[in-house]
Homo-oligomer: A and B are copies of this chain.
Amino acid sequence: MNNYKNLVDNIRKKGSFLCIGLDTDLSQLPSHIKESKWPLFQFNKEIIDNTHDLCVAYKPNLAFYEAEGVDGWIQLKMTIDYIKEIDSSILVIADAKRGDIGNTAQRYAKAFYESLNCDAVTLAPYMGRDSIDPFLQYKDKWSIILALTSNSSADEFETLTVSNEPSMPLYKKVILQSNLWGDKDNIMFVVGATRAQKLKEIREFCPDHFFLVPGVGAQGGTIEEVAKYGMNSNIGLLINVSRSLIYAYKEHKQDPDSSLNFATYSRLYAQEQVLQMQKVL
């Protein structure tokens, strides 16, 4: 069971609010992994074996599995089952960004919460409450709603002023409106790390919820800054690191097929993140 209290307890116990993004790209894998029958799973398994004591969540990015067709979907399921087997207290977040009308959202909820056994799924808010509500009907599961993302075109729509209120950008409206549908126990928000000032503003009008924060590392955000502006008394943060962690061996120019496992570099990278987190916890 992965409810709010358990998540906070787990963060305190592990001294980590790290989420590891499994954006596992077949074309990026070491050649000895590519040759295995289930390369995405094999890669993920070694990452998980080397990092599960250092993180509180894994976040498989659905696109990378769907790109490989049926085999990708099989390996997504294998990955999730393996995480649950290794440590059932680790949150599994399907980074799927789904969003559709009620009867369709119900089927997505079934796909992610039942068929795949995930604890959380990322959702797009554009279509409003209908598209989120079916997910909120599941006990001890989370809907993680896009608010302010870290990509460069986020400003095209997310920061537009709405409702003729100068202090009401769309992402704020999304957060305030979503808080009418659920609460901190079943909703989190995606808030990018790249704009610390915005994180501070959002924390002011949304004090209790967890934020899933991408954009640390490659995109320029830092753990120190995110913690300074985004942390609350129950931590309230999951910082996600994907490519810079899972492909850490590339930075070390290490031969990924050498006897020293590529995932060892991922572990070192994860340890560095956790050390920074422990400074602020």
A residues sitting closer than 8 Å to B (CB atoms) are 23, 25, 61, 63-64, 66-70, 72-74, 77, 95, 97-108, 110-111, 114-116, 124-131, 146, 149-158, 160-164, 170, 173-174, 177
Query: Least Cβ distance of A84 to chain B in Å?
Result: 15
Choose among B124, B127, B163 the residue that contacts A160 (Cβ–Cβ < 8 A).
Answer: B163
Q: How far is the CA of A174 from the CA of B161 in the complex (A)?
A: 14
Query: Least Cβ distance of A219 to chain B in Å?
Result: 9
**Known contacts A67-B114, A70-B77; can you find 5 more A-B pairs with CB under 8 A?**
A63-B107, A97-B100, A126-B158, A127-B146, A130-B151
Choose among B106, B110, B149 the residue that contacts A127 (Cβ–Cβ < 8 A).
Answer: B149
Q: How many copies does the complex hold?
A: 2
Instruction: Check B127 against A158 for contact (C-beta < 8 Å).
Output: yes
Closest to A153 in B: B128
Choose among B63, B66, B129 the residue that contacts A156 (Cβ–Cβ < 8 A).
Answer: B129
Indicate whether A131 sits within 8 Å of B151 (C-beta atoms), given known contacts A99-B124, A146-B126: yes
Instruction: Check A157 against B130 for contact (C-beta < 8 Å).
Output: no
Instruction: Check A173 against B151 for contact (C-beta < 8 Å).
Output: no
Choose among B115, B125, B131, B163 the residue that contacts A69 (Cβ–Cβ < 8 A).
Answer: B115
